[in-house]
């Protein structure tokens, strides 16, 4: 991705489906002095996604799409992104799979955070799988989004130790805490 020059911030859209703790954290990151991004839009496929409250709280434009017709929905989203001059998409707990066509249109400008040490445990239930397999380490990854799910180039990873007494819930909590450090760090890495 291009280097940022001067004071121009990269207009960013965050896509969410749930709690939005990463969204909230990215908003916080967008307000520090050295940040390369501004958050101008949040998109959700879930009307009642809890994370949408941060859009209200921080006065960020929000749009909800139900994705019943993926092709139509993506067309609407692409128009909106163009209108808002968005040039970075951060997926943060977004539970819909974007089409090859959509990704192509935004090639190299969509990133995602995933709660595992990719390429291990693509897809869902990553914490459960790590516990079930008695993994000694777990973690999270920020990567570029390509048409193959959770398979794009890795930008940054954070590895943590799994404690003997951890279960999927405690592990998820620990990893989420690391995610909140990793996502901003990965964005800084891309643009510096
Ligand atoms: C995070 O664990 C993220 O890695 C995964 O979904 C979860 C979203 O959490 N893709 P939140 O909505 O940001 O709190």
**Contacting residues for 7 by C-beta, under 8 A, at least 6 apart:** none
CB 113 near ligand 1, within 6 Å: yes
114 is catalytic: yes
Hey, whose CA ends up nearest to atom 10 of ligand 1? 93
| Ligand 1 center from residue 5 Cα (angstroms) | 30
What are the tokens at 111?
């990133």
Query: And the tokens for 91?
Result: 């997926």
In tens, the pLDDT along 97-152 reads 999 999 999 989 999 999 999 999 999 999 999 999 999 999 999 999 999 999 99
pTM for this structure?
0.95
DSSP letter, residue 136: S
Residue 2 has pLDDT above 70, yes or no: no
Domains and CATH numbers, the chain: 8-107 (3.40.50.170), 112-192 (3.40.50.170)
Strand bridging mode 88-91 / 10-16? parallel
The residue whose C-alpha atom lies closest to atom 9 belonging to ligand 1 is 93
């Amino acid at each position: 991705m291009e280097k940022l020059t001067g004071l121009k911030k990269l207009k960013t859209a965050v896509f969410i489906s749930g709690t939005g703790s990463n969204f909230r954290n990215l908003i916080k990151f967008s307000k520090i002095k050295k940040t390369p991004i501004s958050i101008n839009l949040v998109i959700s496929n879930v009307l009642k996604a809890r994370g949408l409250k941060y859009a209200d709280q921080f006065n960020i434009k929000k749009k909800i799409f139900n994705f019943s017709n993926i092709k139509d929905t993506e067309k609407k989203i692409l128009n909106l992104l163009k209108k808002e001059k968005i040039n970075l998409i951060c997926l943060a707990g977004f539970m819909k799979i974007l089409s090859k066509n959509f990704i192509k249109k935004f090639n190299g400008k969509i990133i995602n955070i995933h709660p595992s040490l990719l390429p291990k445990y693509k897809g869902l239930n990553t914490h459960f799988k790590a516990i079930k397999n008695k993994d000694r380490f777990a973690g999270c990854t920020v990567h570029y989004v390509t048409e193959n799910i959770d398979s794009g180039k890795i930008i940054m990873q954070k590895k943590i130790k799994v404690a003997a007494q951890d279960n999927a819930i405690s592990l998820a909590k620990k990893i989420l805490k690391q995610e909140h450090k990793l996502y901003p760090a990965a964005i800084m890495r891309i643009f510096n």
